[in-house]
Every structure is written in C-alpha cells, then in structure tokens.
Structure 1
Amino acid sequence: MLKVQEIRELIKLVDESSISDFSYEANGTKVSMKKENGEVVQVAAPKVAPTEPKVEPQVEEKPVESKQEEVQLNVEAKETSAQNSVDFDHEIVSPMVGTFYEAPSPEDDQYVQVGDHVDQSTVVCIVEAMKLFNEIEAETKGEIVEVLVDNGELVEYGQPLFRVKNK
C-alpha cells in the first residue's frame, strides 16, 4: 500500500508533467489520477472491499443566519468534542518527524499501554528519523490514558502521541 507521502509525490509529478492520465496498481491498491482543466484529480480505490463497513457520523447541515449563530454552533461543537474526549493532564508529543514504533523490535512487548504508570524517564516509544531510532521519554509522571497513533505510523513534529493523567 502506498504511503501518503508517496501519493503526494505522485500527484506533484503528474501535475508538473504534460501527461493527462496516470494509473498505478500494487498490492491490491489502485491509484488513478486525471488532469482536468489543468488540475490533478486523484481517485484511489482498494481492489478488495473492506470486511466491515465504516460508519461515518452524519452531520445535519443547517443554513447559518448570522455570525453570532455560527460562533455559537462552533462553541457547541467544541463542547461536545471535549465531552467525548478522554480526561488527561498532559500530552506526550513527537519531537521530530518520523515513524512511530511502540516497541524496541517487532518481537518485543510495547513500551507502554493504556493504564501503565510512567515517570519522567520512562521510555514510551521510538521515533525513527533518517535511520536513527530515537527513544522518546514521557517527561511527566502519571498514567497513560490514551495512545493516539498506531505502530508504524508516520508522525509529524509536535503531533500528540500519548495522553497522560497526572497522579
């Protein structure tokens, strides 16, 4: 499966070239791009249908009559999302762009899981950047209440990785 960065590079290359259609297929994933009116339109579709349908929340669109109502709707949306989130005091963030690994090797156990207690020097994960494996420490004391990224996922600088509730 193609990574997001690879797809972005393909889009850029197609956009800068004179070709109008591009298709690529590998490992059950097909990516097709077609230029329309000088812009690249991307269509990506997996060959194999997912076994479990994804349920997307339905949002009812209402016309907004004034700025005050729009602000009120935004405040209500933030309050709702805050109520649905996990209670935490601190987020452990990625200090660099790289690949997140939850364990020192695929055969080993995860450094931390939800419910584990950590202190300032506890290693919580590894972020690989340019073939260097950087151990990330908690830098806070408390309990891991949420893991925000998956093993092998590309993370950005400052992206939250874990949420910690201070004890």
Structure 2
Amino acid sequence: MSDAWLQSVLRLVEQYGIAEFEYEDDTRHILVSNGRISEIGPVRHEEPVPAQQSIEIPAPFIGIFRSTNPDPRQPAELPRLVRSGEIIGYLQVEMLLRPVLAPRDGVLAKQLVGDGALADYGKPLFRFHSARR
C-alpha cells in the first residue's frame, strides 16, 4: 500500500492546525501528533487483561454525569481498553458537556455512578486498571 494518502493527510493536518490524527486498520496503527508520525505497530486484537493495580477515576469538577455524549449511538461495553486522554464520559453543567479523560492507557473496568447522577468534585466515576509497562 502506498503512503501517498498519509502524506496528503499530513498536509491537511498541518494546514488546518489539527493537533492529533490517528489511523488504524487490520495491519497498521498510525498516530500523528504535533507533526510527528508514530507507527505504533501491527494491530493486535486481544482481550483486555486487567493489571494488578486498580484505581478510581474521580470527577474533575461538579456536574451531571453522562457516560456518553447525548447522541443516538450506544456506549461501548465495559470492560474495554482505553488510551491516555481518551474521552470516557462527560459531566454536564447546564448545556455544557465537559469531557472526562482516561488518565493513562489501561482497562476501564466498571462505571461507579449512574447516568444522570450528580457527581460532586472528586466523586469516583469509574474503576480503572492501568496498563502494564
């Protein structure tokens, strides 16, 4: 497969000031961040393996917890693999939705609050297992 399409995408990313672009297919996983290209390697489809240490992800601010953006798509089943900085939920304040991000790569194991529940600052939202390094 030619990488001409990747060069075209890089030009568009730079032209429009896009900070990050990620592409994955059956054979490759590419991450473009701040103009740097990282080929993460061949795609491996494995079952999530929980790490030994478990933490709780707290609410970074107060708001009504939403496990998904209120659009018609269904939320992903738990447990599931997540990457550092991936949006794993939302806190709603009035009409504003603020994202809750995964603190690092790992397994999002369990949701600890119900959808639509008020989440005070610091309230645990998820059970999370860090990826092994």
The TM-score, its normalising length taken from structure 1, stands at 0.44
Matched, 1:137 2:104: no
**Counterpart position of 1:165:** 129
Distance 1:102 1:151, change over 3 A: same
SS at match of 1:104: coil
Partner SS state of residue 64, structure 2: strand
Q: 1:101 aligns with which of 50, 53, 66?
A: 66
Distance between the aligned counterparts of 2:71 and 2:53, measured in 1?
A: 29
Q: Secondary structure at the match of 2:125?
A: strand
Q: Does 1:117 align with 2:81?
A: yes
* Structure 2 gap segments, 5+ residues each: 1-51
- Alignment of structure 1 residues 16-165 onto 2, 5 Å: 88-110=53-75, 112-165=76-129
User: For residues 118 and 109 of structure 2, what CA distance do their matches in structure 1 show?
Assistant: 21
- RMSD over equivalenced CA pairs, Å: 1.7
Task: After TM superposition, give the deviation of residue 113 of structure 1 in Å.
Answer: 3.5
- Who is 1:26 aligned against? none
Question: Percent identity over the alignment?
Answer: 24
Give, in whole Å, the separation in 1 of the partners of 2:65 and 2:71.
12
Q: How many residues align?
A: 80
Q: Deviations over 1:49-105 (max 9, x none)?
A: xxxxxxxxxxxxxxxxxxxxxxxxxxxxxxxxxxxxxx7522111111110111111
Whichever residue aligns with residue 55 of structure 2, its letter is: H
Distance, in Å, in 1 between the alignment partners of 2:94 and 2:64 is 10
- For 2:114, the aligned partner's letter is D
Amino acid at match of 2:94: M
